């Protein structure tokens, strides 16, 4: 038995929905796929679903408030310091 769940990095919210009191979120992650075309190596990307979350409305509100606070705190322009 594992002590803790896996940590998964996600790149985007692929699917969202709400049904019967349950919020459904599917997150995707980009896979980088090197391939050789005409002798040149190129990298293409493919998004795959890597995490599915289900929660009630109360939990969704908590996540909404937490994300809003984090985003607000992290997108405030840096204060200009006196360099004179």
- The whole-chain average pLDDT of the chain stands at 90
The residue with greater pLDDT, 24 or 45, is: 24
Of 82, 30, 20, 80, nearest to 55 by C-alpha is: 20
Q: What is the DSSP string of the chain?
A: --SSPPP----EEEEEEEETTEEEEEEEEEEEEEEEETTEEEEEEEEEEEEEEEEEHHHHHHHHHHHHHHHHHHTSPPPPPP--
**What are 35's two structure tokens?**
């391939």
Using one digit for the tens of pLDDT, what is the confidence trace for 35-76? 888 889 999 889 999 999 999 999 999 999 999 999 999 998
């Amino acid at each position: 038995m594992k002590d803790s769940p896996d940590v998964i990095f996600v790149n985007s919210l692929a699917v969202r929905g709400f049904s019967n009191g349950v919020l459904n979120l599917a997150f995707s992650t980009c896979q980088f796929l090197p391939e050789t075309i005409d002798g040149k190596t190129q990298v293409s990307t493919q998004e795959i679903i890597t995490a599915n979350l289900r929660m009630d409305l109360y939990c969704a509100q908590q996540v909404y408030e937490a994300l809003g606070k984090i985003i607000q705190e992290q997108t405030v322009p840096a204060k200009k310091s006196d360099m004179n």
